[in-house]
Amino acid sequence: MVCAGGLTAWGESPSLCLSNPTGCDQPGSTINVEVMLGAGDPIVVGSQFVLMFDPAALTPLEILPGQSCDPLSPISLEIYKKVDAANGSIFFATGINPFKGESGTQGPATIACVRFLPSGTPMTEICIMAGDEEETTRLSDNSGHVAPIDNSTACPTDQVGAISCRDVIFKPECRCTSDAECDSFNGPCRIGVCNESVMLCEVMPINEGGACNDGNDCTTTDVCVQGECEGSGCTNPSLCLDELSTPPGNVMAVPVKLGAGDPFITGAQFTMQWNPAGLNLYSVQPGSWSDPASPFMVEIQNVSDAASGELFYAVGVAPGVVGTQGPATLAWVFFEVQDRALADVCLFEDSYPFLTKLVDDQARLVDSYNEGSCSSDQGPPFLDCQQFVLAEIPTTSDWGLVVLTLAFLVGAKLQFRRGNNTAAAGV
């Protein structure tokens, strides 16, 4: 299926549609549907959407970026996923991976690939919903702005709140009469069995606690847990604020540090919070600005709100670099100090899309482990908090460094757009 965008006053807006569901060609096989981006003028680099389905008819098995089922799609990076199988909803955000040299697309392109297991109802419907304020369907262009969606001619729907719907009609081949017809589900941690009461294949866990291979070289111990192979043994990096504060005087530099871990980190995004009564944000720079050993030199996103004292920043390694296992400097954040007693800064998780996350060289999200590395005296969602103490009076030899730093900071460009920025995160 190819979607075609509608016209707006400024150009052609892409559509966002569901393809015709396919699959279920033999007992135990899945029903597959793609989320498709239609052609339009904006260069789209990211998307997020709300998918609704009947949980009595479909069980979600897998949702992946578009490149997983369409090699021509530039959309390969999973940013966020929330699946509520009981209530029949999926919220998924995905985008390009700039660290692999991917650029955006003007469509058509595959945004995401979804697989369902049919659960008994002979006919049902899947819909992309407009969503609500917290979880909403939208596209992001290559300048960080929201790209309008126009489905009026490409995939119109009569459902209130829906922007695209597709009927799912189960084929007779979806049914089973014996366990032998469900062997496509067999694996080291599960087997497929036929539920004769509804004539559908189901999964039965086996080998609980037994050895398996989850395909991740980093996990040294892999065991079966309730039908899935789960790995452990990785050392995750921490994400901390460094106590270094230079130069003395009214300018403060706060490094954000990546700790050592097993995965090779190629990109990071973080949310920082400070007390605006004590600090004014001057500038943010990638880690390589004053740390030659840092591979992080590509700024991806910089969104700040001076009034509330919040910064969202995304950074990546230089092109062609496989990443770092740390330690390394991710970024430098510069402040003008108004009140030394209130010079406190925190890293915290925040809410979607301004999440603090790391990504590895396989475009997979990596959890940071801060306990014991940079423990905070505040509970979640705070990852690390520091109160910085600066020299009260600079010495004569310090003034040259202060002047040079101030000259650099005056030319820095800030983006105070946090309040009205609605684009998805860029890692």
Six-digit token pair at 84? 């509520």
Give per-residue pLDDT as tens, 35-70. Answer: 999 999 999 999 999 999 999 888 898 999 999 889
Return the pLDDT at 421: 38
Cβ–Cβ < 8 Å for 48, 91: yes
18-56 burial, b if ≥16 CB within 10 A, otherwise e? bbebebbeebbbbbbbbbbbbbbbbbbbbbbbbbbbebe
Return the pLDDT at 159: 82
Amino acid letter for position 161: G
Amino acid letter for position 155: C
Q: How confident is the model at residue 413 (pLDDT cuts 50, 70, 90)?
A: very low
Return the pLDDT at 424: 35
Six-digit token pair at 219? 């996990």
Q: Which of 47, 2, 44 is nearest to 20 (CA)?
A: 2
Average pLDDT, the chain: 80
Give per-residue pLDDT as tens, 198-245. Answer: 777 778 899 999 999 887 777 778 999 988 888 887 788 888 888 665
Return the pLDDT at 180: 86
**pLDDT at 110 > cutoff 90:** yes
Longest dimension (CA), the chain: 87
Task: Name the architecture of domain 6-173.
Answer: Sandwich (2.60)
Dihedral angle of Cα 169, 173, 179, 185, to the nearest 10 degrees: -70
Return the pLDDT at 184: 77
Mean pLDDT, rounded, for 124-134:
89
Strand locations in 38-76 (E): 44-53, 58-65
**pLDDT at 246 > cutoff 70:** no
For the entire predicted model, the pTM comes to: 0.50
Higher local confidence (pLDDT), 226 or 362: 226
Give DSSP secondary structure letters for 184-210: GG--SSEEEEEETTTTEEEEEE-STT-
Residue 250's CB is within 10 A of a number of other CB atoms, namely 15
**pLDDT at 398 > cutoff 70:** no
- Give CA–CA dist 110/99, Å, rounded: 20
239-410 topology per CATH: Immunoglobulin-like (2.60.40)
Give per-residue pLDDT as tens, 371-387. Answer: 667 766 666 677 788 77
Residue 97: CA count within 13 A, CB half-sphere: 22
Six-digit token pair at 154? 């490409």
Strand partners, 313: 270, 302
- Give CA–CA dist 56/153, Å, rounded: 31
**pLDDT at 17 > cutoff 90:** yes
Mean pLDDT, rounded, for 406-424:
32
Mean pLDDT, rounded, for 121-129:
85
Residues of the chain with CATH 2.60.40.680: 6-173, 239-410
Q: In whole angstroms, how far apart are CA 402 and each of 63, 391, 399?
A: 51, 12, 5
- Give CA–CA dist 350/115, Å, rounded: 30
State the sign of the Cα–Cα–Cα–Cα dihedral 332, 333, 336, 339: negative
- Give CA–CA dist 150/162, Å, rounded: 12
- Give CA–CA dist 196/394, Å, rounded: 81
Radius of gyration of the chain (CA): 25
Q: How confident is the model at residue 87 (pLDDT cuts 50, 70, 90)?
A: very high
Return the pLDDT at 328: 93
Phi-psi region of 418 (alpha: psi -120 to 50; beta: other; left: phi over 0): alpha
**pLDDT at 282 > cutoff 50:** yes
Return the pLDDT at 378: 66
Give per-residue pLDDT as tens, 298-341. Answer: 998 899 988 889 999 999 998 888 899 989 999 999 988 888 77
Return the pLDDT at 200: 76
**pLDDT at 407 > cutoff 80:** no
Higher local confidence (pLDDT), 320 or 276: 276
- Contacts of 373 by beta carbon, 8 Å cutoff, 6+ apart: 238, 240, 259
CB-based contacts of 318-321 (< 8 A; 24+ apart in sequence): 318/288, 319/99, 319/101, 321/266, 321/295
Q: How confident is the model at residue 122 (pLDDT cuts 50, 70, 90)?
A: low
- Centroid of chain to Cα 339: 36
Q: Which of 5-19, 78-92, 253-267, 353-367 has the lowest mean pLDDT?
A: 5-19
**pLDDT at 403 > cutoff 80:** no
Beta pairing, strands 138-141 & 44-53:
antiparallel
